[in-house]
Amino acid sequence: MNLAHKNAVLYGVADSMAGAVAAAFAEAGARVFLTARHVEKAQRVADRIRAAGGRAEVAQVDAPDERAVNAHADAVARTAGSLDISFNLINIADVQGTPLIEMAAEDFVRPVRTAMQTQFLTGTAAGRIMARQGSGVVLTLTATPGGIGYPLTGGFAPACAAIETFSTNLAAELGPRGVRVVNIRSAGSLDSRPFRDAAAQGGDGVQEFFARMKNDTMLKNLPAMKDIANAAVFLASDLAAKITGVTLDITAGSTSALNYKLPKIVFAKG
């Protein structure tokens, strides 16, 4: 799939999902502009892309900062000639594994607030530029709880649902201007940083949790980061020219909710 002559901006780039997507975009021919609050990790991703023959530039951009987001997007469009792809993949600092009735309000609200503020800022910044161009693609990423009730996911689940609704509404408004907006829903990738960190902590409980996640899918497996990156390349390409306003489900069938069983919850006495 050819992304030659495309300029892609990614937010929250580090050695995980955003890094995998950035590498896939670059491999497909795009010039990638990598942003992060802390640029050291993004710089390492850029170095690997350049070593592989790709084109990558790095800038420090804090996604909740409206001025920084708008200034960077405008600079990319001005210096590169266009802004063709925008993908916000920042960490929304969610807390999971705690029953809702025991969760602190701030832990519940924070991921929703972070997701909505940053998705709005990055999506509309790109949308204004793309609307003037008459073309462009804004991508978002959610997970299984965006499509079904999924216990112990705290504020992450409503954040996913909010992102999906925002993506659909933005698509409806920008479609007449030639701009597409598409969400990708994943089931979680075991090779992504959060899962790698959990696995590094060890313990039978972690592996049991991973096995339960796999068993909750129709394919009895989970998508790898490469699967999500490949989908992003497809959606950003002209092969997906008539796809907009929808969520592409890459959960290996977990949104069917056929197999999920709530683990035993021990509630605190109070």
The partner residues of 85 in beta bridges, in order of sequence, read: 8, 137
Indicate the residue type of 26. Answer: A
Q: Would you state the pLDDT for residue 181? A: 98
Query: pLDDT tens, 215-235?
Result: 888 888 999 999 999 999 999
Closest CA to 58 of 70, 47, 68: 47
CA-based end-to-end distance of the chain: 57
Q: Where are the domains of the chain?
A: 7-187+225-250, 189-222
Architecture of domain 7-187+225-250: 3-Layer(aba) Sandwich (3.40)
**Does 261 have pLDDT greater than 90?**
no
Q: Assign 221 to helix, strand or coil.
A: coil
Tens of pLDDT, residues 140-186: 999 999 988 888 999 999 999 999 999 999 999 999 999 999 999 99
Confidence of residue 263 (pLDDT cuts 50, 70, 90): low
Lowest-pLDDT range, 43-52, 74-83, 160-169, 187-196? Answer: 187-196
pLDDT at 85 over 50: yes
d(CA 228, CA 179): 21
CB 36 within 8 A of CB 14: yes
- Those residues whose C-beta lies under 8 Å from the C-beta of residue 12, and which sit 6 or more positions away, are 18, 35, 36, 37, 63, 88, 89, 90, 91
Cα separation, 21 vs 102, in Å, equals: 36
**pLDDT-derived band of residue 45, with 50, 70 and 90 as boundaries?**
very high
The Cβ of residue 234 has, within 10 Å, a number of other Cβ atoms equal to 16
Name the pLDDT band for 270 (thresholds 50, 70, 90): very low
Q: What is the pTM of this model?
A: 0.92
In this predicted structure, the answer to whether residue 99 has a pLDDT above a threshold of 50 is yes
